[in-house]
Structure 1
Amino acid sequence: MKANWEKIEKNVGVLNVEIEAEQVAQALDKAFKKVVQKVNVPGFRKGKVPRSIFEARFGVESLYQDAIDILLPEAYTQAVDETDIQPVDRPDVEVEQFAKGQPFKFKAKVTVKPEVKLGEYKGLEASAADTEVTDEELNQELERLQQRHAELVVVDEGPAQQGDMTVIDFEGFLDGVPFEGGKGDHFSLELGSGSFIPGFEDQVVGMNIAEEKDVNVTFPENYHAENLAGKPVVFKVKLHEIKRKNLPALDDEFAKDVSEFDTLQEYKQDLAAKLKERKEKDAETARETELVDKASANAEVEIPDVMIDNEINQMKQEFESRLRMQGMNLDLYYQFSGQDEAALTEQMKPDAAKRVRNNLVLEAVAEAEKLDVTDEDVNSELDNLSKMYGRSADELRGIFAANGYMDTLSTDLKVRKAVKFIVDNSKTA
């Protein structure tokens, strides 16, 4: 096989490939064995038609597409390896020549990973962070723990309040006609959570059990359903149940219930130590982020749109996973938030571009400083993942290898080394 790479734009080029006629013949043989199983020719059982009769009846050209499908994937992969390019998108393939007894020639227009021209990344300055824990921060943490350990108590009478967990029926009407997706029965809604359209929850506040009420709201202008965007609607709401948080007292008994300590004072001391540890870790993360952002800003790189699009898709998958952990999905999120997929994409675009840029710069730093990933690094990471997921390191290695993720794992480790290098070679402002 012959392959050569010709750059035609900043991050785009053409891969020209030629495959020997002998391999074409072998691919045609495989194609025939596949196709002959599906054809019917009078006088022959299915799959038993001689090659000469098949070609006389259907023409050898009928095998070409199957033969191309057999040859192309492996030939493209081999050509990518031989020319040492790094595609970031599917190729646009054009077959230039394919015929029995002749070489197979094709060209592929390919978008590749961009080149990075590094600027300053050593000796960068990062601002110092205050990691001391204030009394206010400690009290806020105690209040948060109070909320977490609060008991939900059924309220028999009195109006619903902000923070209450309610159970409601609702049905939405546009110009007196029910609209799709606007109905729910015995739906659990925390007032003040911002789950519903702005203004909805505020009007449920003050309702009493068994009370029915018309809630008037207006859908956002950018709502994903065009027939509802910007439209005033009426929701008929019935309140079935109110549950309210009963906060525990902050005393020694509370400390005993939520920790291994006997007194609130001991618990507060331990909590303050843990908050300080958390602030130190947050400060370390903030320092890394500041320094990487500076190194990235100092570099020159032109990012292909497809890399940003791919990152956005990855971010959407991560976002949907988090939603599912909360019992939601993207469709419900769009309905409750008033966003649609296009709006979410635009919202994620700046962060996606930043993530792609930073990763490219960090990979370039690792390359410039020869920060190689060793077998020991990989084994250590697999051991850490093993403890996290409760599966053996060998099992995880097999899963990664089977799904082609070992290279991704190595790249992630190399990027981490680059971050550490930048931090180790930085200064405090």
Structure 2
Amino acid sequence: MKSTVEHLSPTRVRINVEVPFDELKPDFDRAYKKIAQQVRIPGFRPGKAPARILEARIGRGPVLDEVVNAAIPVKYQEAVVTSEDVKPIGRPDIEVTEIADGERIAFTAEVDIRPEITLPDLDGLIVEVDETEVTEDEVTEQLDQLRARFGTLAGVERPAQSGDYVQIDLSAAVDGEEIEEATTTGFSYEVGQGGLIDGIDEALEGMSADEEKTFTSKLVAGEHADKDAEITVKVTTVKERHLPEADDEFAQLASEFDTLDELTENLRERLGRSKRMEQAAQARDRLLDKLVEDTEVPLPESVVAAEVETRTHDAVHAFDHDEDKFGEFLSSQDKTREQFDTETREEAEKAVRYRLVLDTLADREEISVGDQELTERIVYQAQQYGMAPEQFVQQIQQAGQLGVIYQDVRRSKALITAVRAATVTLPGGEAVDLSDLLGPDEDETTVEEIPATDVDGADDTADDAADTTADETSDKADAKA
């Protein structure tokens, strides 16, 4: 077999392949055997008719078609393997250019490839991260969150105010017609928390039990999305929350500590660790942004188009692929379909650019992924989906996604390597040592401890550790009890 490569652009090549017929004998043997099973010829059992009899019965054409269709994918892969500078990242467009019976077959394959990218020297990269100082206000906020978990609600004979809990009945009408799906009774709501209906908090403040009020607000979902509706709210009860005193007795109730000072110090330490994790995540994300910013990255069009298609499919899928419903949703967000398409294209290009940079970095740093590391990532992701690891593995294998997870781990390791090599500083210029979070060079097992970075630069698992500090402390109290 002979093959040559033409570079059509920095991201696309044409591979020209010529295969002599003497290399196709195994393919002809398989083709005859397959066709013989499908054709009934008097005097021969299924699959036993000789080749010359088959060709006399059905002609040479079907045999050649079977051989060509079976051989081309294999020969294409052989051509790719022998062309060391070609790294395909898309599906090839194959065209058969010649079938000279008894002599050769020839075809071309145009495919997008990973472009050659020149990355900057990691030792010269500097990224700035935020300070990790824990303020007393932050510690107090965590303590108050913990107290709130042990708080009690008591009814009051006064108008509702921000922070109170009210039980309400809600209804909505558009043009005098009541909207059934917008009606609810006995709904518990914290005044001032927001996120329910625009205007609800302003309406509730000052209302007492058994009072009713009507106000106008826009509906954000359903058949009447983006229309003004008359919202009627009736308060049935008003309750205020009483927090336990922050003292040693509370510390013993809510944690494994005997004194409030010990509990407070523990909250401060947890917040500090959380902030250091956030700092490491900042260093990772900002370094990746800087790498991409300082690197020229040609984008393979077919790969970007596939990314756009995937993101668009996922967005419309949430609306059962109903374009009208999706259009209504966009309108409720003050966005046109053209704006959505433009933003999706920009996000897709960013995602592809990040992947190409990380893959190039992984190659340059000779990053490998061990079985244990791959297993740990699979177990981690299975937990994220609430699935048993065995079930998760089965699904990703069926979907052909095991290689995707492998690449994700490899990219994560490459990025951790870059953070370890770069200089990380505070706003004042003081260097920050993150080695205890990144792990030594020989040990990559701490990769999962820092929230994973998606290829579009966003966190897959947002680090809300500071928000959960009080929860963790309370969980320990439950275990102690």
Correspondence list, 1:387-398, <5 A: 388=380
Q: When the two structures are aligned, how many residues end up with a matched partner? A: 407
> What are the Cα deviations for residues 146-167 of structure 1, in whole angstroms up to 9, with x where unaligned?
5566678999x99898896979
State the match for 1:360 in structure 2. 356
Instruction: Identify if the C-alpha distance between structure 1 residues 18 and 236 changes in structure 2 by more than 3 Å, giving closer, same or farther.
Output: farther
TM-score (norm 1): 0.69
Q: Is the 8 A contact 1:122 1:425 kept in 2?
A: yes
Specify the code of the residue in structure 2 equivalent to 1:90: R
Partner of 1:300: helix, strand, or coil?
Answer: coil
Q: Distance in 2 between matches of 1:129 and 1:97?
A: 63
1:136-147 equivalences in 2 (<5 Å)? 136-146=137-147
Match of 2:5 in 1: 5
Question: Structure 1 residues 232 and 398, CA, compared in 2 at 3 Å: closer, same or farther?
Answer: closer
Give the structure 2 partner of residue 278 of structure 1.
274
Q: 1:253 to 1:87 in 2, by over 3 A?
A: farther
| Cα distance between partner residues in 2 of 1:63 and 1:212 | 82
Matched, 1:75 2:71: no
8 Å Cα contact 2:215/2:232 also seen in 1: yes
Residue in 1 that maps onto 2:366: 372
Q: Which among 223, 227, 230 is matched to residue 232 of structure 1?
A: 227
Aligned residue for 2:370, secondary structure, equals helix
2:69 is paired with a residue whose SS is helix
**Partner residue of 1:111?**
112
SS in 1 for 2:9: coil
Instruction: Answer with 356-365 or 330-339: which moved more.
Output: 330-339
In 2, are the aligned partners of 1:88 and 1:306 still within 8 Å (CA)? no
Query: Residue deviations 1:334-380, cap 9 Å, x none?
Result: 68784699666654554554443344334444544xx2235xx6255
Shift of residue 275 of structure 1? Answer: 0.2
- Of the three residues 407, 410, 428, the one matched with 1:413 is 410
2:3–2:15 contact (8 Å) kept in structure 1: yes
Q: Is the 8 A contact 2:212 2:232 kept in 1?
A: yes
| Alignment equivalent of 2:318, drawn from 292, 317, 330 | 330
Q: 1:91 to 1:341 in 2, by over 3 A?
A: farther
8 Å contact 1:372–1:414 — kept in the other structure?
no
Q: Deviations over 1:222-257 (max 9, x none)?
A: x9x9x977x636588898998979464353455344
Secondary structure at the counterpart of residue 8 of structure 1: strand
State the partner residue of 1:249. Answer: 244
User: Is 1:426–2:423 an aligned residue pair?
Assistant: yes
What do the CA deviations read for 1:4-50 (whole angstroms, capped 9, x no partner)?
211012211101122332454543443454455455x5858994684
Contact 2:159 2:208 in 1 (8 A): yes
Choose 329-338 or 104-113, whichever is displaced more: 329-338
Q: 1:412 to 1:387 in 2, by over 3 A?
A: closer
Give the alignment of 1:282-361 within 5 angstroms.
Answer: 282-310=278-306, 330-331=318-319, 338=332, 346-347=342-343, 349-361=345-357
Q: Equivalent residues in 2 for 1:45-194 (5 A)?
A: 47=46, 50=49, 52=52, 54-84=54-84, 85-98=86-99, 100-119=101-120, 121-127=122-128, 129-146=130-147, 183=181
Distance across 1 between alignment mates of 2:342 and 2:145: 33
* Cα distance change, pair 54–386 in 1 and its aligned pair in 2 (3 A): closer
**Alignment identity in percent?**
22
45-54 vs 60-69, which moves further:
45-54
Q: How far apart, CA to CA, are the structure 2 residues paired with 1:235 and 1:73?
A: 64
Please tell me whether the aligned partners of residues 296 and 358 of structure 1 are also in contact (alpha carbons under 8 angstroms).
yes
User: What is the distance in 1 between the residues matched to 2:120 and 2:266?
Assistant: 44
Cα distance between partner residues in 1 of 2:26 and 2:420: 55
- C-alpha spacing 1:425/1:67, structure 2 compared with 1 (3 Å): same
Change (3 A) 1:24 1:202: farther
Q: Check conservation: 1:373, 1:410, Cα contact below 8 A.
A: no
Q: 1:268 and 2:264 equivalent?
A: yes
Q: Following TM superposition, by how much is the alpha carbon of 1:177 offset from its aligned partner in structure 2, in angstroms?
A: 8.8
CA distance in 2, matches of 1:316, 1:146: 44
Distance 1:427 1:160, change over 3 A: closer
The DSSP-based 3-state class of the residue aligned with 1:122 is: helix
Q: Distance in 2 between matches of 1:152 and 1:413?
A: 51
Q: Which one-letter code corresponds to 1:381 in the other structure?
A: E
1:16 corresponds in structure 2 to 16
CA distance in 1, matches of 2:167, 2:354: 44
The answer on whether the counterparts of 1:120 and 1:299 sit within 8 Å (CA) in structure 2 is no
TM-score w.r.t. the length of structure 2 is 0.62
The whole-number CA distance in structure 2 between the counterparts of 1:315 and 1:27 is: 40
Cα distance change of structure 1 residues 30 and 307 upon mapping to structure 2, 3 Å threshold = same
Unaligned stretches of 5+ residues in structure 1: 321-328
Residue of structure 1 in register with 2:434 after alignment: none
| CA RMSD between the two structures | 5.4
- Classify the secondary structure of the residue corresponding to 1:110: strand
With over 3 angstroms needed to count, the CA separation of the structure-2 counterparts of 1:273 and 1:17, relative to structure 1, is same
After TM superposition, give the deviation of residue 135 of structure 1 in Å: 1.3
* 2:373 aligned counterpart, secondary structure: helix
